[in-house]
Amino acid sequence: MTVWTSSQGVRRLEFGPLPRERHTNLPEAWPARLGAAVEQLREYFAKERTSFDLPLDLSGVTSDFQREVYNQLLKVEHGHVMSYGQIAREIGKPDQARAVGQAVGANPIPIIVPCHRVIASDGRLTGFSGGLKRKVVLLKLEGIDVDGSSPNSKVHPEVIPLDL
C-alpha cells in the first residue's frame, strides 16, 4: 500500500507499491501525519485497532454528495456492513443508491474511510477499488464471513441492519 498525506491529513491510500517516480525518506524522516497513518494501519492489520483516529484531507473530493457518503461510511463500525441503499437513506437521499455506489467506488482513502464495509442489499459481495479478493480479506479481518471472492458471494456478517 501507498499512503499519501498532506499538511491537512491522510489524502489517499492506494494498493500496490510506491510509483517509481516517487521517492520516500526513511521512516524516521517521515512527516508526523504519515507516520501516524502507517502505524494505525499496521495496528489495524494486526487486529489491534478497530477504528482510525487520523485527520483526513478530502480537499480533492469533487462533490458535497461524495463528502456526505464518506462521512456516513466513517460511521459504519468495524465488523458491520451496510448496503448502498441503507447509506442513501441515512444521508437523506433514499433514491440515490446508485450514486452512493459511484461515490463509494471513488473513495480516495479506502480502509480508513471503510468502503469495504458496503455490500449489496441482498447480502452479496460488491465491487472494491482494491479488488474483491482484498475486500474479502478486509471483511474477514473484521470477523465477517464471506463465501468466496466473486460478485455473487454471500456476506455473512455477525450483524446486518435490515432494509425495512
d(CA 5, CA 76): 23
Residues ≥6 apart with Cβ < 8 Å to 119: 81, 82, 83, 125, 126, 155
Kindly report the backbone phi and psi dihedral angles of residue 65, in degrees, each rounded to the nearest multiple of 5, phi listed first.
Answer: -60, -45
Predicted pLDDT at 164: 53
Q: For 137-153, how does the pLDDT look when each residue is reduced to its tens digit (9 = 90+)? A: 999 999 999 998 888 88
Predicted pLDDT at 25: 73
d(CA 72, CA 55): 16
Low-confidence ranges of the chain (pLDDT < 50): none
Kindly report the backbone phi and psi dihedral angles of residue 134, in degrees, each rounded to the nearest multiple of 5, phi listed first.
Answer: -70, -40
Predicted pLDDT at 161: 56
Predicted pLDDT at 148: 84
Q: What is the pTM of this model?
A: 0.89
Predicted pLDDT at 80: 93
In angstroms, the Cα distances linking 144 to 9, 50, 85, 155 are: 29, 13, 20, 7
- Annotated active-site residue 3? The verdict is no
The active-site residue, picked from 10, 115, 119, 138, is 115
Q: What is the 3-state secondary structure (H, E, C) of 43-64?
A: HHHCCCCCCCCCCECCCCCCCH
Predicted pLDDT at 109: 97
